[in-house]
Amino acid sequence: MKNFATLLLIFSISMTMVGCDPSKSVVTLASTTSTEDSGLFSVLAPAFEEDNPDYELRVIAVGTGEALELGRRKDADILLVHAPISEIEFIESGHGVNRKEVMRNDFVLLGPSDDPVGIASAADSIDALEMIAKAESDYVSRGDESGTHKKETSLWDEASVQPPFEGDWFISTGQGMGNSLTIASEKQAYILSDKATYLTRQDNLELSALFQGGSDLSNFYSVIEVTDASETEGAKAFSDWITSAAGKSVISGFGSDEFTEPLFIPTQE
């Protein structure tokens, strides 16, 4: 019986190995749902593997909070996230090294095309949020402590009123960008979205970009190599590649044909 159990274990382990090329090392990248929802990795992963044939890239798309937790638990070799304050904490507590800024993605405030509150004429993003709060117009918040939600929170912190609000108009979904956009469209509510996800999803949304621009509406993505991870070499290879000219050209090329503007803007040295 014991032998049988051992055999079964060996069998199941070998089954999970099927599909992996044994000559390649698997690099596990933890990233955010906003990058995954935009489709960036379906372009980035093959390009990286082509330039670095020794490695196979596996992407786990989760919230920034979970991505950092995966790093702390050494379940990921490298992180591509966008929450600068949490990232610095992560590195200071010894979990990661070599934080390098990779790219930028801008935020945009979306809403019903008739813009009932008139945020299109707001002075800045904080003014726009204050207008929505004052009118108690439906507003969808990610509420999942993701990078985008942290951005949103930092904007509210600057405003004269802050969540949590009384009333049903403030809708906290606790879901990824894609799902939250669908909910905002159905409810004809305002929402802060990253531009990449919005552009890729706009065809099936009844939402218009009402307010954008300003330095406080930018989203900076960085790579962090996880210390003591199982594949530190591969992590370094990815980190070097994505910040190289080859990696940057893939990023800036992504979506340019389809949307007339790049979805992500690589950081210039």
- Residue from 38, 173, 193, 222 touching other proteins (CB under 8 A): that is 173
The smaller minimum CB distance to other proteins, of residues 57 and 61, is found at 61
Min dist. Cβ of residue 183 to other proteins (A): 5
The smaller minimum CB distance to other proteins, of residues 99 and 149, is found at 149
Region from 13-21, 77-85, 102-110, 177-185 binding other proteins, contact rule CB under 8 A: 177-185
Region from 5-13, 121-129, 178-186, 210-218 binding other proteins, contact rule CB under 8 A: 178-186
Is 89 a binding residue for other proteins by CB under 8 A? The answer is no
Is 224 a binding residue for other proteins by CB under 8 A? The answer is no
> In the range 46-75, which residues lie near other proteins by CB under 8 A?
62-63, 65-70
- Residue from 54, 89, 186, 233 touching other proteins (CB under 8 A): that is 186
Q: What number of chain residues touch other proteins (CB under 8 A)?
A: 25
- The full 3-state SS of the chain, as one line of letters, equals CHHHHHHHHHHHHHHHHCCCCCCCEEEEEEEEHHHHHHCCHHHHHHHHHHHCCCEEEEEEEECHHHHHHHHHCCCCCEEEECCHHHHHHHHHCCCEEEEEEEEEEEEEEEECCCCCCCHHHCCCHHHHHHHHHHHCCCEEECCCCCHHHHHHHHHHHHCCCCCCCCCCCEEECCCCHHHHHHHHHHHCCEEEEEHHHHHHHHHHCCCEEEEECCHHHEEEEEEEEECCCCCHHHHHHHHHHHCCHHHHHHHHHCCHHHHCCCCCEECCC
Binding mask 199-218 for other proteins (x = CB under 8 A): -------x------------
> And the tokens for 235?
């992590």
The smaller minimum CB distance to other proteins, of residues 175 and 243, is found at 175
Min dist. Cβ of residue 165 to other proteins (A): 10
Sites of contact with other proteins (CB under 8 A): 62-63, 65-70, 143-146, 164, 168, 171-175, 179, 183, 185-187, 206
